Copies of this chain bind each other. A is one copy, B any other.
């Protein structure tokens, strides 16, 4: 008897991931995905039963991975500034692979408000690490290394500065006649920029 061969299954999943969250084509059809993977569309149903199942699997896996990586950084016990620098590095690594993941999440949470409960409560201690990070932010303000504001605003600023440029790429390419390479260079330069925006030095 032949051994299970999950090459094709994995190929389909990877392709779906690429189309949905790397290229941002969230309404790609099963045919689009099958074509991109170079397989018969029926295989998609054979391995995943329905488009919906595949879609949610891709969504869930990407979100879970991102959350785990951020969770780890938050719990790393490093000094605050290094922790933030790590956060930027890790988030950047994920954003390069999945620039549309956050948009994806936001739009879906918006349209299925209650559907994705477990994904946010999934990691034990997740909320605690978040709260703890907000406390660290608070105490850094008291130390004077970052500007005074609501800790949540510091948090939002951090993620805004990281995530937005990845999503808005097509706009800036058009607006300033940039090339993809030129924009990538700017994105990388921004890493330092983000830190210096957030810290008073």
Contact = CB atoms under 8 A, between A and B. Distances in A.
A175 B133 CA distance: 13
A112 to B, nearest CB: 10
Given A189-B153, A190-B153, A24 B107 contact: yes
A147 interface: yes
Interface string A157-178: 1011101110111111111100
A159 B106 CA distance: 18
A161 to B, nearest CB: 5
Given A24-B111, A106-B170, A109-B174, 19 more contacts: A24-B106, A102-B171, A103-B103, A106-B168, A106-B171, A109-B170, A110-B170, A113-B170, A130-B175, A152-B186, A153-B189, A153-B190, A157-B197, A160-B160, A160-B164, A160-B168, A163-B164, A164-B164, A167-B167
